[in-house]
């Protein structure tokens, strides 16, 4: 009997857009995603598919995926969680916000696993009715992370969590952000924090698996705190039964 190679889990990976600043295509919009996400997912045995915000996916199309990764990027539109813009905010990408919120809810309805990374964690929290700290330098000055550089941050992780199964109960992780979750919403629970009190990882309370981290595991895919998160997610996507999450109200 001929041997067949195992099917790689098909993972949707969200991307942003930026205006090209040089070359023949200067001034044109480009779909962008750092290569780290693709490399980390491929190394874990997945087949990444880039999802551009200009191309909304239907529930049926999202259901064809084995998992969804919501990636890092610019700040969310504060109007999504009832706040006003601050001078410290980065310019939002409202089309991407709407695309990713819809994709997240579709993934929950379809019962496919979701991994949120940095902005992805914040988007998941807001999609579940939560709110954000808009500028940690003012709201939680003890938190060392910033949007100016990648910063090593220590995180304490709840032993009774999927994150702990992947990386242990204490880890040092690369963070790159100036905002964070203030309230994660009713459908999620905080499973990791920094000593400042900031939530650094969230998981769904019920339904299909949702893991979200406020650090960048794709940057350290060869190390425990990175490889463990990405590999655990891909393994979950490869074997997880379709268990739909709570249907959103909007």
Based on the residue annotation, tell me whether 184 is a catalytic residue of this protein.
no
What distance lies between CA 216 and its chain's CA centroid? 9
Set 100, 128, 203, 218: catalytic member = 218
DSSP letters for the chain:
----PPPPPEEEEE-EEEE--SSTTTT-EEEE--HHHHHHHHHTT-EEEEE-TTSPPPHHHHTTSSEEEE---SPPPGGGGT----TTPPPP-HHHHHHHHHHHHHHHHHT--EEEETHHHHHHHHHTT-EEES-HHHH-TT----SSS-EEEEEEE-SSSHHHHHH-SEEEEEE--S-EEEE--TTEEEEEE-TTS-EEEEEESSSS-EEEESS-GGGGTTSHHHHHHHHHHHHHHHH------PPP--
* CB-CB neighbours of 63 under 10 Å: 16
User: Which pairing describes strands 10-14 and 67-70: parallel, antiparallel, or unpaired?
Assistant: parallel
Set 118, 177, 184, 227: catalytic member = 118
In the Cβ-directed half-sphere of 66, how many Cα atoms lie within 13 Å?
19
Set 143, 178, 216, 227: catalytic member = 216
Q: Which residue has the tokens 């491929």?
A: 42
* CB-CB neighbours of 115 under 10 Å: 29
Based on the residue annotation, tell me whether 118 is a catalytic residue of this protein.
yes
Based on the residue annotation, tell me whether 216 is a catalytic residue of this protein.
yes
* Residues with catalytic function: 118, 216, 218
């Amino acid at each position: 009997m001929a041997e067949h190679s195992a099917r790689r889990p098909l993972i949707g990976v969200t991307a942003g857009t930026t205006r090209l600043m040089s070359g023949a295509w200067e001034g044109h919009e480009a779909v962008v995603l750092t290569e780290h996400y693709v490399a980390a997912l491929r190394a874990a045995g997945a087949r990444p598919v880039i999802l551009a915000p200009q191309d909304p996916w239907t529930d049926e199309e999202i259901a064809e995926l084995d998992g969804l990764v919501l990636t890092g990027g610019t700040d969310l539109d504060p109007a999504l969680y009832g706040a006003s813009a601050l001078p410290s905010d980065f310019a939002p990408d409202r089309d991407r916000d709407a695309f990713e919120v819809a994709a997240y809810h579709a993934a929950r309805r379809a019962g496919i696993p979701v991994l949120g990374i940095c902005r992805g964690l914040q988007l998941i929290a807001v999609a579940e009715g939560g709110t954000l700290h808009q500028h940690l330098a003012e709201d939680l000055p003890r938190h060392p992370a910033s949007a100016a550089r990648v910063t090593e941050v220590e995180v304490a992780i709840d032993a009774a969590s999927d994150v702990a199964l992947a990386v242990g109960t204490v880890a040092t992780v690369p963070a790159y952000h100036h905002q964070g979750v203030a309230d994660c919403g009713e459908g999620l629970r905080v499973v990791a924090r920094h000593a400042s009190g900031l939530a650094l990882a969230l998981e769904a309370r019920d339904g299909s698996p949702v893991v979200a981290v406020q650090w960048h595991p794709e940057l350290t895919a060869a190390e425990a705190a990175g490889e463990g998160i990405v590999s655990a997610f891909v393994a979950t996507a490869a074997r997880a039964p379709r268990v739909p999450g709570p249907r959103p109200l909007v």
